Structure 1
Amino acid sequence: MFYWRGEHEGVQLGFTSAEAGNLAAHVGSADAARRNRVALERVTGSLRFLNQTHSADVHDALEPTDSPPSGDAWVCEDGSVSLAVAVADCLPVLLVGGGPRGPVTAAAHAGRSGLMAGVLENTVRAMRQRRAQSIRAWIGPGACGSCYEVPQEMVNDLASHRPGLASLTRWGTPALDLRAHAAALLEEQSVDVHDVGGCTIEEARLFSHRAAQSRGAPEGRLAGVVWKP
Protein backbone atom coordinates (compact mmCIF):
# COMPACT_ATOMS: atom_id res chain seq x y z
CA MET A 1 0.00 0.00 0.00
CA PHE A 2 2.82 2.43 0.85
CA TYR A 3 5.77 3.31 -1.32
CA TRP A 4 7.37 4.75 1.82
CA ARG A 5 6.24 5.03 5.41
CA GLY A 6 7.89 6.62 8.42
CA GLU A 7 7.38 8.05 11.88
CA HIS A 8 8.50 11.22 13.64
CA GLU A 9 7.65 12.42 17.14
CA GLY A 10 4.64 10.11 17.35
CA VAL A 11 3.34 11.18 13.92
CA GLN A 12 2.98 8.71 11.05
CA LEU A 13 3.83 9.71 7.49
CA GLY A 14 3.45 7.88 4.23
CA PHE A 15 3.34 8.07 0.45
CA THR A 16 1.11 5.48 -1.18
CA SER A 17 2.03 3.32 -4.14
CA ALA A 18 -0.12 2.22 -7.05
CA GLU A 19 -0.91 -0.88 -5.00
CA ALA A 20 -3.23 1.33 -2.91
CA GLY A 21 -5.16 2.16 -6.08
CA ASN A 22 -6.24 5.49 -7.47
CA LEU A 23 -7.23 7.86 -4.66
CA ALA A 24 -8.69 10.74 -6.70
CA ALA A 25 -12.41 10.78 -7.53
CA HIS A 26 -11.88 12.87 -10.69
CA VAL A 27 -9.75 10.16 -12.33
CA GLY A 28 -11.36 6.96 -13.58
CA SER A 29 -14.10 5.47 -11.43
CA ALA A 30 -15.21 7.66 -8.53
CA ASP A 31 -16.65 4.60 -6.79
CA ALA A 32 -13.33 2.78 -7.04
CA ALA A 33 -11.50 5.83 -5.67
CA ARG A 34 -13.87 5.94 -2.68
CA ARG A 35 -13.27 2.26 -1.99
CA ASN A 36 -9.53 2.81 -2.17
CA ARG A 37 -9.77 5.70 0.28
CA VAL A 38 -11.77 3.56 2.69
CA ALA A 39 -9.08 0.88 2.55
CA LEU A 40 -6.37 3.47 3.22
CA GLU A 41 -8.38 4.92 6.10
CA ARG A 42 -8.31 1.55 7.85
CA VAL A 43 -4.65 2.40 8.44
CA THR A 44 -4.72 6.19 8.78
CA GLY A 45 -8.15 6.94 10.21
CA SER A 46 -10.53 9.35 8.51
CA LEU A 47 -8.67 11.41 5.91
CA ARG A 48 -9.26 14.91 4.62
CA PHE A 49 -8.38 15.73 1.01
CA LEU A 50 -8.26 19.16 -0.62
CA ASN A 51 -9.81 20.39 -3.85
CA GLN A 52 -6.38 21.04 -5.34
CA THR A 53 -5.96 23.97 -7.73
CA HIS A 54 -2.16 24.27 -8.30
CA SER A 55 -2.15 27.36 -6.07
CA ALA A 56 -0.13 28.57 -3.08
CA ASP A 57 -3.19 28.61 -0.78
CA VAL A 58 -2.82 26.98 2.64
CA HIS A 59 -5.82 25.98 4.78
CA ASP A 60 -6.24 25.45 8.51
CA ALA A 61 -7.49 21.89 8.98
CA LEU A 62 -9.16 22.80 12.28
CA GLU A 63 -11.50 25.30 10.63
CA PRO A 64 -14.94 23.71 10.04
CA THR A 65 -16.04 23.24 6.44
CA ASP A 66 -18.86 21.37 4.71
CA SER A 67 -16.79 20.45 1.66
CA PRO A 68 -13.11 20.14 0.75
CA PRO A 69 -11.64 23.65 0.55
CA SER A 70 -9.84 24.71 -2.61
CA GLY A 71 -6.11 25.02 -2.14
CA ASP A 72 -2.90 23.05 -2.12
CA ALA A 73 -1.74 22.69 1.46
CA TRP A 74 -3.14 21.89 4.90
CA VAL A 75 -1.82 22.79 8.34
CA CYS A 76 -3.05 21.31 11.63
CA GLU A 77 -1.94 23.01 14.84
CA ASP A 78 -2.17 19.91 17.05
CA GLY A 79 -1.86 17.08 14.54
CA SER A 80 -5.36 15.83 15.33
CA VAL A 81 -6.60 15.79 11.72
CA SER A 82 -5.29 13.22 9.24
CA LEU A 83 -4.17 15.21 6.20
CA ALA A 84 -3.78 14.04 2.60
CA VAL A 85 -2.75 15.45 -0.77
CA ALA A 86 -3.08 13.66 -4.11
CA VAL A 87 -0.34 13.66 -6.77
CA ALA A 88 0.80 12.04 -10.00
CA ASP A 89 4.07 13.80 -11.01
CA CYS A 90 3.75 16.83 -8.72
CA LEU A 91 5.54 16.51 -5.38
CA PRO A 92 3.75 15.55 -2.17
CA VAL A 93 5.49 17.20 0.79
CA LEU A 94 4.73 16.25 4.40
CA LEU A 95 5.92 18.38 7.31
CA VAL A 96 6.05 18.00 11.10
CA GLY A 97 7.21 20.48 13.76
CA GLY A 98 6.99 20.60 17.51
CA GLY A 99 4.29 22.88 18.91
CA PRO A 100 2.76 23.89 22.24
CA ARG A 101 -0.43 21.88 21.60
CA GLY A 102 1.29 18.86 20.12
CA PRO A 103 2.94 18.24 16.76
CA VAL A 104 2.10 20.81 14.08
CA THR A 105 1.51 18.83 10.89
CA ALA A 106 1.14 19.83 7.25
CA ALA A 107 0.71 18.31 3.81
CA ALA A 108 1.42 20.20 0.59
CA HIS A 109 0.82 19.53 -3.10
CA ALA A 110 3.85 21.08 -4.77
CA GLY A 111 3.68 21.07 -8.55
CA ARG A 112 5.36 23.48 -10.91
CA SER A 113 2.78 26.24 -10.55
CA GLY A 114 2.45 25.88 -6.79
CA LEU A 115 6.20 25.85 -6.26
CA MET A 116 6.63 29.01 -8.32
CA ALA A 117 3.76 30.69 -6.45
CA GLY A 118 5.20 29.89 -3.01
CA VAL A 119 3.13 27.00 -1.65
CA LEU A 120 6.01 25.59 0.39
CA GLU A 121 7.07 28.94 1.84
CA ASN A 122 3.43 29.65 2.74
CA THR A 123 3.08 26.25 4.40
CA VAL A 124 6.19 26.75 6.53
CA ARG A 125 5.01 30.26 7.43
CA ALA A 126 1.60 28.92 8.49
CA MET A 127 3.29 26.29 10.67
CA ARG A 128 5.48 28.89 12.36
CA GLN A 129 2.46 31.10 12.96
CA ARG A 130 1.23 28.14 15.01
CA ARG A 131 4.58 28.16 16.83
CA ALA A 132 6.04 25.10 15.15
CA GLN A 133 9.72 24.53 15.89
CA SER A 134 12.37 22.24 14.43
CA ILE A 135 10.32 21.59 11.29
CA ARG A 136 11.14 18.54 9.22
CA ALA A 137 9.89 17.89 5.69
CA TRP A 138 9.65 14.70 3.64
CA ILE A 139 9.54 15.08 -0.15
CA GLY A 140 7.76 12.13 -1.74
CA PRO A 141 7.69 10.60 -5.21
CA GLY A 142 7.32 12.88 -8.23
CA ALA A 143 8.65 13.40 -11.74
CA CYS A 144 12.44 13.60 -11.55
CA GLY A 145 14.64 16.22 -13.17
CA SER A 146 15.77 13.71 -15.81
CA CYS A 147 12.17 13.05 -16.95
CA TYR A 148 10.22 16.29 -16.44
CA GLU A 149 10.51 17.59 -20.00
CA VAL A 150 9.33 21.14 -20.77
CA PRO A 151 9.89 23.67 -23.59
CA GLN A 152 13.16 25.60 -23.53
CA GLU A 153 11.17 28.84 -23.25
CA MET A 154 9.73 27.64 -19.93
CA VAL A 155 13.17 26.79 -18.58
CA ASN A 156 14.43 30.22 -19.63
CA ASP A 157 11.49 31.93 -17.94
CA LEU A 158 11.37 29.97 -14.69
CA ALA A 159 15.04 29.19 -14.07
CA SER A 160 16.53 32.62 -14.79
CA HIS A 161 16.60 33.39 -11.04
CA ARG A 162 16.41 29.77 -9.88
CA PRO A 163 19.56 28.08 -11.23
CA GLY A 164 18.89 24.77 -9.46
CA LEU A 165 15.59 24.38 -11.30
CA ALA A 166 17.03 23.93 -14.80
CA SER A 167 17.77 20.38 -15.88
CA LEU A 168 18.08 18.08 -18.88
CA THR A 169 16.26 14.87 -19.65
CA ARG A 170 18.24 11.69 -20.16
CA TRP A 171 17.68 12.18 -23.89
CA GLY A 172 19.13 15.70 -23.80
CA THR A 173 16.05 17.96 -23.95
CA PRO A 174 15.15 20.84 -21.56
CA ALA A 175 13.65 19.85 -18.22
CA LEU A 176 12.89 21.12 -14.72
CA ASP A 177 14.11 19.58 -11.47
CA LEU A 178 11.18 20.29 -9.17
CA ARG A 179 12.59 18.05 -6.43
CA ALA A 180 15.90 19.94 -6.20
CA HIS A 181 14.06 23.26 -6.21
CA ALA A 182 11.62 22.16 -3.50
CA ALA A 183 14.49 20.98 -1.29
CA ALA A 184 16.34 24.27 -1.81
CA LEU A 185 13.25 26.33 -0.94
CA LEU A 186 12.69 24.38 2.27
CA GLU A 187 16.34 24.57 3.29
CA GLU A 188 16.22 28.34 2.80
CA GLN A 189 13.40 28.30 5.35
CA SER A 190 15.65 26.39 7.82
CA VAL A 191 13.64 23.19 7.39
CA ASP A 192 15.35 19.81 7.78
CA VAL A 193 14.65 18.06 4.46
CA HIS A 194 14.39 14.31 3.87
CA ASP A 195 14.09 13.17 0.24
CA VAL A 196 12.19 9.90 -0.07
CA GLY A 197 12.91 9.72 -3.80
CA GLY A 198 10.96 7.85 -6.44
CA CYS A 199 10.28 9.00 -10.00
CA THR A 200 6.63 8.63 -10.94
CA ILE A 201 7.44 8.53 -14.65
CA GLU A 202 10.03 5.77 -14.36
CA GLU A 203 8.60 3.48 -11.69
CA ALA A 204 5.65 1.18 -12.39
CA ARG A 205 4.80 1.17 -8.67
CA LEU A 206 3.78 4.84 -8.96
CA PHE A 207 1.06 6.66 -10.88
CA SER A 208 2.12 9.26 -13.44
CA HIS A 209 -0.16 11.58 -15.40
CA ARG A 210 2.59 12.17 -17.95
CA ALA A 211 3.29 8.45 -18.42
CA ALA A 212 -0.42 7.75 -18.76
CA GLN A 213 -0.67 10.31 -21.55
CA SER A 214 2.51 9.36 -23.39
CA ARG A 215 2.59 5.56 -23.20
CA GLY A 216 -0.77 4.43 -21.92
CA ALA A 217 0.30 3.66 -18.35
CA PRO A 218 -2.51 3.30 -15.77
CA GLU A 219 -4.03 6.63 -14.76
CA GLY A 220 -4.40 7.41 -11.08
CA ARG A 221 -3.30 9.54 -8.16
CA LEU A 222 -1.07 8.69 -5.22
CA ALA A 223 -1.42 10.30 -1.81
CA GLY A 224 0.90 11.82 0.73
CA VAL A 225 -0.60 11.29 4.17
CA VAL A 226 0.31 12.49 7.67
CA TRP A 227 -1.62 11.26 10.72
CA LYS A 228 -1.47 10.53 14.44
CA PRO A 229 -2.35 6.95 15.48
Structure 2
Amino acid sequence: MRHHAIHDSGAHFAFTDRWGGVSAVPYEELNLGGAVGDDPGAVRANRAVAAGKLGLDPADVVWMNQVHGKDVAKVDGPWGDGPIPSVDGLVTATPRLALAVLTADCTPVLLADPVAGVIAAAHAGRPGLLAGIVPATVAAMTSLGADPGRIVARTGPAVCGRCYEVPEGMRAEVAAAEPAAWSETSWGTPAVDVTAGVHAQLAAVGVRDRRHSGICTLESRDHYSYRRDRTTGRLAGYVWLAPPDGPGAGEE
Protein backbone atom coordinates (compact mmCIF):
# COMPACT_ATOMS: atom_id res chain seq x y z
CA MET A 1 0.00 0.00 0.00
CA ARG A 2 1.12 3.50 -0.75
CA HIS A 3 0.97 5.95 2.13
CA HIS A 4 1.94 9.58 1.80
CA ALA A 5 1.83 11.73 4.91
CA ILE A 6 2.52 15.41 5.45
CA HIS A 7 4.10 15.06 8.86
CA ASP A 8 4.39 18.69 9.91
CA SER A 9 0.73 19.48 9.28
CA GLY A 10 -0.81 16.32 10.66
CA ALA A 11 -2.63 15.57 7.39
CA HIS A 12 -2.37 11.97 6.25
CA PHE A 13 -3.32 10.52 2.89
CA ALA A 14 -3.15 6.91 1.72
CA PHE A 15 -4.05 5.08 -1.49
CA THR A 16 -4.11 1.30 -1.68
CA ASP A 17 -3.03 -1.01 -4.46
CA ARG A 18 -4.52 -4.47 -4.96
CA TRP A 19 -2.02 -6.56 -3.01
CA GLY A 20 -1.82 -7.82 0.56
CA GLY A 21 -5.37 -9.03 1.15
CA VAL A 22 -7.35 -12.26 1.28
CA SER A 23 -9.86 -11.97 -1.59
CA ALA A 24 -9.93 -14.69 -4.25
CA VAL A 25 -9.88 -14.31 -8.04
CA PRO A 26 -11.10 -12.05 -9.66
CA TYR A 27 -10.96 -9.74 -6.63
CA GLU A 28 -7.45 -10.69 -5.59
CA GLU A 29 -6.18 -9.56 -3.21
CA LEU A 30 -6.99 -6.39 -1.27
CA ASN A 31 -10.52 -5.66 -2.47
CA LEU A 32 -12.06 -3.02 -0.21
CA GLY A 33 -15.39 -2.66 -2.04
CA GLY A 34 -18.44 -4.23 -0.40
CA ALA A 35 -20.80 -4.08 -3.39
CA VAL A 36 -18.85 -5.80 -6.16
CA GLY A 37 -19.74 -9.45 -5.51
CA ASP A 38 -16.82 -10.39 -3.28
CA ASP A 39 -17.23 -12.44 -0.08
CA PRO A 40 -18.29 -9.99 2.68
CA GLY A 41 -15.99 -11.70 5.17
CA ALA A 42 -13.01 -11.18 2.89
CA VAL A 43 -13.89 -7.50 2.47
CA ARG A 44 -14.12 -7.04 6.26
CA ALA A 45 -10.76 -8.75 6.68
CA ASN A 46 -9.19 -6.61 3.97
CA ARG A 47 -10.54 -3.40 5.50
CA ALA A 48 -9.06 -4.45 8.85
CA VAL A 49 -5.68 -5.19 7.23
CA ALA A 50 -5.59 -1.87 5.38
CA ALA A 51 -6.58 0.13 8.46
CA GLY A 52 -4.03 -1.69 10.60
CA LYS A 53 -1.21 -0.89 8.18
CA LEU A 54 -2.13 2.79 8.46
CA GLY A 55 -2.34 2.79 12.25
CA LEU A 56 -6.12 3.25 12.12
CA ASP A 57 -8.95 1.49 13.96
CA PRO A 58 -11.24 -0.01 11.28
CA ALA A 59 -14.22 1.15 13.36
CA ASP A 60 -13.10 4.76 12.90
CA VAL A 61 -13.04 4.56 9.10
CA VAL A 62 -16.20 5.99 7.51
CA TRP A 63 -17.33 4.72 4.09
CA MET A 64 -20.05 5.86 1.71
CA ASN A 65 -22.46 4.33 -0.79
CA GLN A 66 -21.21 6.06 -3.94
CA VAL A 67 -23.76 6.90 -6.64
CA HIS A 68 -22.01 9.30 -9.10
CA GLY A 69 -23.83 12.35 -7.76
CA LYS A 70 -22.87 15.57 -6.00
CA ASP A 71 -24.29 15.09 -2.51
CA VAL A 72 -21.94 15.44 0.46
CA ALA A 73 -22.63 14.02 3.93
CA LYS A 74 -21.38 15.64 7.14
CA VAL A 75 -19.94 12.96 9.40
CA ASP A 76 -19.93 13.16 13.20
CA GLY A 77 -19.08 9.52 13.89
CA PRO A 78 -19.15 6.00 12.42
CA TRP A 79 -22.47 4.99 10.86
CA GLY A 80 -22.82 2.05 13.26
CA ASP A 81 -25.82 -0.14 12.41
CA GLY A 82 -27.55 2.67 10.53
CA PRO A 83 -27.77 2.99 6.76
CA ILE A 84 -24.71 4.17 4.85
CA PRO A 85 -25.77 7.32 2.99
CA SER A 86 -25.81 7.38 -0.81
CA VAL A 87 -23.38 10.24 -1.40
CA ASP A 88 -20.14 10.91 -3.23
CA GLY A 89 -18.51 13.15 -0.66
CA LEU A 90 -17.85 12.96 3.07
CA VAL A 91 -16.70 15.80 5.32
CA THR A 92 -15.93 15.87 9.04
CA ALA A 93 -14.46 18.02 11.76
CA THR A 94 -14.60 15.16 14.27
CA PRO A 95 -11.16 14.13 15.53
CA ARG A 96 -9.93 10.55 15.14
CA LEU A 97 -12.20 9.74 12.20
CA ALA A 98 -10.81 8.66 8.85
CA LEU A 99 -12.80 9.10 5.64
CA ALA A 100 -12.56 6.62 2.77
CA VAL A 101 -13.44 6.60 -0.92
CA LEU A 102 -13.62 3.56 -3.23
CA THR A 103 -12.51 3.60 -6.86
CA ALA A 104 -11.56 1.39 -9.80
CA ASP A 105 -10.89 4.08 -12.49
CA CYS A 106 -12.69 7.14 -11.07
CA THR A 107 -10.60 9.81 -9.36
CA PRO A 108 -10.37 9.59 -5.56
CA VAL A 109 -10.12 13.08 -4.06
CA LEU A 110 -8.72 13.55 -0.54
CA LEU A 111 -8.77 16.96 1.13
CA ALA A 112 -7.57 18.33 4.47
CA ASP A 113 -7.34 21.67 6.26
CA PRO A 114 -5.25 20.70 9.29
CA VAL A 115 -5.54 24.17 10.85
CA ALA A 116 -9.34 24.00 10.92
CA GLY A 117 -9.32 20.27 11.68
CA VAL A 118 -11.53 19.51 8.69
CA ILE A 119 -11.09 16.65 6.20
CA ALA A 120 -13.06 15.37 3.22
CA ALA A 121 -13.10 12.54 0.70
CA ALA A 122 -14.85 12.61 -2.66
CA HIS A 123 -15.55 10.19 -5.52
CA ALA A 124 -15.14 11.93 -8.87
CA GLY A 125 -15.90 9.97 -11.99
CA ARG A 126 -17.04 11.57 -15.22
CA PRO A 127 -20.66 12.02 -13.97
CA GLY A 128 -19.45 13.43 -10.64
CA LEU A 129 -17.12 15.85 -12.38
CA LEU A 130 -20.07 17.10 -14.43
CA ALA A 131 -22.36 17.24 -11.40
CA GLY A 132 -19.86 19.29 -9.41
CA ILE A 133 -18.96 16.94 -6.56
CA VAL A 134 -15.55 18.58 -6.15
CA PRO A 135 -16.70 22.19 -5.54
CA ALA A 136 -19.60 20.83 -3.45
CA THR A 137 -17.14 18.99 -1.21
CA VAL A 138 -14.92 22.04 -0.79
CA ALA A 139 -18.01 24.12 0.03
CA ALA A 140 -18.98 21.58 2.70
CA MET A 141 -15.49 21.89 4.20
CA THR A 142 -15.75 25.68 4.17
CA SER A 143 -19.06 25.47 6.05
CA LEU A 144 -17.16 23.72 8.85
CA GLY A 145 -14.48 26.40 9.00
CA ALA A 146 -11.97 25.29 6.37
CA ASP A 147 -10.19 27.84 4.19
CA PRO A 148 -9.63 26.76 0.55
CA GLY A 149 -6.24 28.50 0.64
CA ARG A 150 -5.15 26.12 3.41
CA ILE A 151 -6.67 22.95 1.97
CA VAL A 152 -4.24 20.25 0.95
CA ALA A 153 -5.57 18.13 -1.96
CA ARG A 154 -4.37 14.74 -3.17
CA THR A 155 -5.85 12.66 -5.97
CA GLY A 156 -5.05 9.00 -6.36
CA PRO A 157 -4.69 6.36 -9.08
CA ALA A 158 -7.32 6.72 -11.82
CA VAL A 159 -7.75 6.00 -15.50
CA CYS A 160 -5.66 8.57 -17.36
CA GLY A 161 -6.68 10.93 -20.11
CA ARG A 162 -4.68 8.96 -22.68
CA CYS A 163 -6.68 5.79 -21.92
CA TYR A 164 -10.22 6.94 -21.09
CA GLU A 165 -11.81 6.72 -24.53
CA VAL A 166 -15.33 8.14 -24.91
CA PRO A 167 -17.63 9.03 -27.83
CA GLU A 168 -17.04 12.47 -29.35
CA GLY A 169 -20.37 13.76 -28.06
CA MET A 170 -19.52 12.77 -24.51
CA ARG A 171 -16.11 14.48 -24.71
CA ALA A 172 -17.80 17.62 -25.97
CA GLU A 173 -20.31 17.55 -23.11
CA VAL A 174 -17.60 17.18 -20.49
CA ALA A 175 -15.31 19.77 -22.06
CA ALA A 176 -18.17 22.27 -22.22
CA ALA A 177 -18.50 21.97 -18.43
CA GLU A 178 -14.76 21.70 -17.71
CA PRO A 179 -12.38 22.44 -20.63
CA ALA A 180 -9.39 20.99 -18.78
CA ALA A 181 -10.94 17.52 -19.04
CA TRP A 182 -10.75 17.49 -22.87
CA SER A 183 -8.31 14.80 -23.95
CA GLU A 184 -7.29 12.42 -26.69
CA THR A 185 -6.26 8.79 -26.38
CA SER A 186 -2.75 7.71 -27.23
CA TRP A 187 -4.26 6.18 -30.37
CA GLY A 188 -5.90 9.43 -31.47
CA THR A 189 -9.56 9.10 -30.48
CA PRO A 190 -11.73 11.28 -28.18
CA ALA A 191 -11.03 10.94 -24.46
CA VAL A 192 -11.71 12.54 -21.10
CA ASP A 193 -9.12 13.35 -18.41
CA VAL A 194 -11.17 13.33 -15.21
CA THR A 195 -8.20 13.99 -12.94
CA ALA A 196 -7.21 17.09 -14.92
CA GLY A 197 -10.80 18.27 -14.63
CA VAL A 198 -10.80 17.66 -10.87
CA HIS A 199 -7.63 19.71 -10.41
CA ALA A 200 -9.01 22.55 -12.54
CA GLN A 201 -12.16 22.60 -10.39
CA LEU A 202 -10.06 22.61 -7.22
CA ALA A 203 -7.98 25.50 -8.55
CA ALA A 204 -11.13 27.43 -9.45
CA VAL A 205 -12.33 27.35 -5.84
CA GLY A 206 -8.96 28.42 -4.45
CA VAL A 207 -7.24 25.13 -3.56
CA ARG A 208 -3.59 25.63 -4.45
CA ASP A 209 -1.76 22.78 -2.69
CA ARG A 210 -2.58 19.94 -5.08
CA ARG A 211 -0.81 16.77 -6.14
CA HIS A 212 -1.96 13.82 -8.21
CA SER A 213 -0.88 10.22 -8.62
CA GLY A 214 1.00 9.32 -11.77
CA ILE A 215 -0.65 5.88 -11.84
CA CYS A 216 -3.21 4.97 -14.50
CA THR A 217 -5.45 2.21 -13.17
CA LEU A 218 -6.14 0.81 -16.63
CA GLU A 219 -2.42 0.52 -17.39
CA SER A 220 -1.33 -0.76 -13.97
CA ARG A 221 -1.80 -4.44 -13.15
CA ASP A 222 -1.15 -3.53 -9.51
CA HIS A 223 -4.48 -1.65 -9.42
CA TYR A 224 -8.10 -2.51 -10.07
CA SER A 225 -9.70 -1.19 -13.26
CA TYR A 226 -13.38 -1.57 -14.05
CA ARG A 227 -12.84 -0.55 -17.65
CA ARG A 228 -10.19 -3.22 -18.10
CA ASP A 229 -11.71 -6.11 -16.14
CA ARG A 230 -15.39 -5.27 -15.42
CA THR A 231 -15.72 -7.78 -12.56
CA THR A 232 -13.01 -6.63 -10.18
CA GLY A 233 -12.25 -5.18 -6.77
CA ARG A 234 -12.04 -1.63 -5.49
CA LEU A 235 -9.12 0.47 -4.31
CA ALA A 236 -9.49 2.89 -1.42
CA GLY A 237 -8.20 6.33 -0.57
CA TYR A 238 -8.03 7.34 3.10
CA VAL A 239 -7.65 10.76 4.71
CA TRP A 240 -7.24 11.51 8.41
CA LEU A 241 -5.68 13.99 10.77
CA ALA A 242 -3.25 13.10 13.49
CA PRO A 243 -0.65 14.99 15.52
CA PRO A 244 2.90 14.66 14.15
CA ASP A 245 3.70 12.07 16.80
CA GLY A 246 0.37 10.26 16.46
CA PRO A 247 -0.64 7.08 14.59
CA GLY A 248 0.95 6.78 11.18
CA ALA A 249 3.69 9.32 11.88
CA GLY A 250 7.03 8.38 10.46
CA GLU A 251 5.58 6.17 7.70
CA GLU A 252 5.97 6.97 4.05
**So what's the TM-score if we normalise by structure 1?**
0.91
Asked if the contact 2:130–2:177 (Cα under 8 Å) also holds between the matched residues in 1, the reply is no
Query: How big is the shift at 1:64?
Result: 6.8
Structure with more strand by fraction: 1
Query: How big is the shift at 1:219?
Result: 1.3
Q: Where does residue 105 of structure 2 map in the other structure?
A: 89
Q: Secondary structure at the match of 2:19?
A: helix
Q: Distance in 2 between matches of 1:156 and 1:91?
A: 20
Asked if the contact 1:25–1:31 (Cα under 8 Å) also holds between the matched residues in 2, the reply is no
- Supply the AA of the counterpart residue of 1:221: R
Query: How big is the shift at 1:63?
Result: 6.0
Q: Where does residue 131 of structure 1 map in the other structure?
A: 145
Q: Distance in 1 between matches of 2:215 and 2:118?
A: 26
Asked if the contact 1:59–1:74 (Cα under 8 Å) also holds between the matched residues in 2, the reply is yes
Q: Where does residue 17 of structure 2 map in the other structure?
A: 17
Q: Distance in 1 between matches of 2:104 and 2:48?
A: 20
Q: Where does residue 226 of structure 1 map in the other structure?
A: 239
Where do 4+ consecutive residues of structure 1 move more than 4 Å?
A: none
Asked if the contact 1:78–1:99 (Cα under 8 Å) also holds between the matched residues in 2, the reply is no
1:45 aligns with 2:54: no
Q: Where does residue 75 of structure 2 map in the other structure?
A: 61
Q: Where does residue 203 of structure 1 map in the other structure?
A: 220
From 229, 234, 238, the equivalent of 1:212 is: 229
Q: Structure 1 residues 111 and 161 mapped into 2: Cα distance closer, same or farther (>3 Å)?
A: closer
Q: Where does residue 5 of structure 1 map in the other structure?
A: 4
Q: Distance in 2 between matches of 1:79 and 1:106?
A: 13
Asked if the contact 2:77–2:97 (Cα under 8 Å) also holds between the matched residues in 1, the reply is no
Query: How big is the shift at 1:179?
Result: 1.0
Across the aligned residues of Structure 1 and Structure 2, the Cα RMSD in angstroms comes to 1.7
Q: Structure 1 residues 172 and 118 mapped into 2: Cα distance closer, same or farther (>3 Å)?
A: same
Q: Structure 1 residues 143 and 64 mapped into 2: Cα distance closer, same or farther (>3 Å)?
A: closer
1:88-107 counterparts in 2 under 5 A?
Answer: 88-100=104-116, 103-107=117-121
Unaligned stretches of 5+ in structure 1? none
Q: Secondary structure at the match of 1:132?
A: coil
* Cα deviations by residue, 1:144-167 (Å, 9 ceiling, x for unpaired): 000001111111222134322111
- In the alignment of these two chains, the number of paired residues is 222
From 100, 114, 126, the equivalent of 1:112 is: 126
From 35, 45, 57, the equivalent of 1:26 is: 35
Asked if the contact 2:11–2:114 (Cα under 8 Å) also holds between the matched residues in 1, the reply is no
